[in-house]
Structure 1
Amino acid sequence: MKIKTINDYLDSYLTERRFNVSPSTQRSEASKANNIRKAIGKRAIDSVLHSDLRELIFKWHKRFSNKTINGHLTILRAVFDRAMLDGFIERNPMSGIENLKNAKKEPNPFTKTEVALMYECNNVCEQGKNATLLNLLTGLRIGELIALSWDDVDWQRNVLYVRRARVLNDYKSTKTPDSVRAVDLNPLAIDILKRQLPYTGKRRRKTVDVLQRDNKTVLKESIAFIFINSKTRQPFLNAKQFGKTFFNPFLETAGIKHRGVGQLRHTFASQCLTAGISKEWISSQMGHTGTNMIDMHYGKWLREDAPDCALLASQHLQDAFGMPEVKRTVSLPAVSDVASNMLGKLTKKPQLMQLIQAMLEDA
């Protein structure tokens, strides 16, 4: 029996993945497989030692992040697992090689002050601004946002249905076997959509191919895109194009520190958490089945935008303590600052100052 090479098994792996993962994942895995080919692709499958792989991983550390290296390791495990099942190797050289730890990236959401700057920013593309603000209010992925159709908006129920997403340059269905994700539209989001309606509400529909979740079936959909690229007059190609052509210049015009466009989704989660909204509702809005993703990746407590939680806690329990309504108290430093400010203004008006002094003497 002819001994197979690493390349032979990589070919088999990528062929099988064609019907198991999306085109974007296929492209990503093909790129990683190409890196493996360059390093050890021509070697016989039974000639690769555990120490060879350790050495290869060490070299990758100089080029790739831990997350990217882990993607390579996933492919190597599949390759050598298959070789063992085929009987070409007796010991798996990947044995004992674990995934590397990933550095947790803290979300960097926009504050309410920055959101206000976005809302008040003029002399920018109004459509891009509307897309940005709607994203802040719904927590959609950018790929979902730029694939929205006016048919996805239920004006009577105030609901937005997320049926598809633009992933790289492809459209992919987001529908699960059970349901289509429904996102609640608050009054602010409804207002943004009404502002956008005159721009694209009557535009000619466009027919696109949408890959279904089985990664085989492709259906044609007629879409009335809500948001388009004002420069090309066509739907956005992907999230990267949206960021480059509109979002990055928009932040600069608004005087806001640069962040990636993905922080809009982070902002939705973080602002909702800060407002005391339940993680379960936030998760359902964002398309997650549980709250783990909110805890691990999206949520960040924004102290500067948070309500007075101590006051809220006392108001919630005040009747149990038999106490009257608890009201916010003003700290002494705050009172001192207010008084100092008033005194400064009064000194500039001597007549008013004399009147107040006379009143105090008569008291």
Structure 2
Amino acid sequence: MNNNKTISEITHLWKADKKMYVKKSSFSAYVLLTENHLLPAFGDKFTFDEKEVQKFVFKKIDQGLSQKTVKDILIVLKMILKFAIKNKWMEHKALDIQFPTKRESNNIEVLSRSNQRKLMLHLEKHFTFRNLGVFICLSSGLRIGEICALTWDDVDTENGVIRVRRTIQRIYTIDGNTRKTEVILDTPKTKNSIREIPMSRDLIKMLKPIRKVVNSTFFVLTNDIKPTEPRTYRTYYKNLIFNLDIPDLKFHGLRHSFATRCIESKCDYKTVSVLLGHSNISTTLNLYVHPNHEQKKRAIEQMFRGLK
């Protein structure tokens, strides 16, 4: 067993290997997690044990990282460990890591029905291509990267569908001591994210006359050959709802609002999952199958009506 390689050296070799098989965005995420978390903690070591990793996990949670982020870091650590074992640089180590009991709320932030109506009415009355993007997101549940990457060629008003085939994101790249960011246009993260979403009658009515005169290769949000990136569009959206006096809601809340309205309308969970492009239905169930305040209130009122 050749144990003369540090975790830092193994990680360097693992990155060179991994880069050949994963998307640029995934590789960027892996590199950031190693540089920011794993190498500072384990880089100069030749080995580590479960006790050290458990201590690392508690430290990261104490520093304010979410359990999801810490679990993502552990996934990368285990990939590096597997690579090291395969190349006989380390012996197999079973890691049974424990996490504190979560006491976080399952509630997700969505627009109230009244605020959603208010926003959609404003978007219809004050047409701009950027406003149209917000309306499309509320009508389809698109992610911000997906709406930024949408071209007119993806909008099929004859068949009444929007085809989601690409996403735009800004990724961090690390080359030696140089760190920079770049915007990339890429396929969605999973094959389930490549999907067709039926358009509502209102959306078709809005898009049909525009679709006849625009350049098919142009991006929807800019109506130009050059797209806008998510952080720029996020700023525009934030100013939009602020000026409408709508409570602050992250852009991703539009997607949550779309899904919540579907669930409230008794849409089956599998269909909602497919519309959202989730990799499996459990993601949809975990996110949205929780009664909100209005539903709980209705249940109590219904119970007391039964008593009378």
TM-score, structure 1 length as denominator?
0.67
SS in 1 for 2:150: coil
Label 1:225 to 1:253 Cα distance change in 2 as closer, same or farther (>3 A).
Answer: same
* Cα distance in 1 for residues equivalent to 2:187 and 2:100: 32
Q: 1:130 to 1:300 in 2, by over 3 A?
A: farther
**3-state SS of paired residue (1:121):** helix
Cross-structure match for 1:237: 229
> Displacement of 1:135 after TM fit?
0.7
Amino acid at match of 1:116: R
Q: CA deviation at 1:191?
A: 2.8
Post-superposition Cα deviations, 1:58-114, rounded to whole Å, max 9, x if no partner, equal 32223222221112212222233333344444452x522256666464221112200
CA offset at residue 255 of structure 1?
1.1
Amino acid at match of 2:43: G
Give the total of aligned pairs. 284
- Structure 1: runs of 5+ lacking an equivalent: 206-222, 310-363
- Tell me, in whole angstroms, the C-alpha distance in 2 between the residues paired with 1:225 and 1:299: 34
Against the structure 1 CA distance between its residues 83 and 98, is the aligned structure 2 distance closer, same or farther, given a 3 Å change threshold?
Answer: farther
The CA deviation string for residues 32-68 of structure 1, in whole angstroms up to 9 with x for no partner, is: 11122122212223xx343333333332223222221
Aligned to 2:237: 247
Q: Paired residue for 1:292? A: 282
Q: Secondary structure at the match of 2:275?
A: helix
Does 1 or 2 have the higher relative contact order (CA < 8 Å, sep 6+)?
2
- Give the drift of 1:175: 9.8
Q: Which amino acid aligns with 1:11?
A: H
Letter of the aligned partner of 1:262 in structure 2? Answer: H
Matches within 5 A, 1:45-60: 45=47, 48-60=48-60
CA RMSD of aligned residues (A): 3.5
Q: CA deviation at 1:257?
A: 0.5
Q: Which runs of 5+ in 2 are unaligned?
A: 171-182, 300-308
Higher CA-based Rg:
1
Query: SS in structure 2 opposite 1:118?
Result: helix
Secondary structure at the counterpart of residue 183 of structure 1:
strand
Rate the CA distance shift 1:32–1:227 in 2: closer, same or farther, 3 A. same
1:257 aligns with 2:247: yes
Q: Name the CA distance, whole Å, in 2 between partners of 1:257 and 1:202.
A: 34
User: Aligned to 1:61, what secondary structure does the other structure show?
Assistant: helix
Query: How far apart are residue 31 of structure 1 and its match?
Result: 1.3
Q: Secondary structure at the match of 1:156?
A: coil
Q: In 2, Cα distance between the equivalents of 1:69 and 1:78?
A: 14
CA pair 99-175 structure 1, distance change in 2 beyond 3 A: closer
Q: Any residues of structure 2 matched to 1:76-225 within 5 Å, and which?
A: 76-90=77-91, 92=93, 95-98=95-98, 103=104, 105-121=106-122, 126-168=128-170, 169-174=183-188, 181-194=195-208, 197=211, 201-202=213-214, 223-225=217-219
2:12 corresponds in structure 1 to 11
Is 2:78 aligned against 1:68? Answer: no
Following TM superposition, by how much is the alpha carbon of 1:186 offset from its aligned partner in structure 2, in angstroms?
1.3
Give the corresponding residue for 1:43: 45
User: Residue 167 of structure 1 aligns to a residue in which SS?
Assistant: strand
Identity, % of aligned pairs? 20
CA distance 1:196–1:302, shift in 2 (3 Å): farther
Amino acid across the alignment from 1:252: F
Post-superposition offset of 1:247: 0.7
Q: Deviations over 1:254-280 (max 9, x none)?
A: 111101100111111110111122223
* Aligned position for 1:266: 256
Q: Which residue of 2 aligns with 1:312?
A: none
1:355 aligns to what? none
Give the direction of change, closer, same or farther, for the CA distance of 1:57–1:119 in structure 2 (3 Å limit).
closer
SS, match of residue 62 in structure 2: coil
In structure 2, the residue matched to 1:227 is 221
Distance 1:174 1:70, change over 3 A: closer
The residue type paired with residue 143 of structure 1 is G
- TM-score by length of structure 2 reads 0.78
Q: Structure 1 residues 125, 300: closer, same or farther in 2, change over 3 A?
A: farther
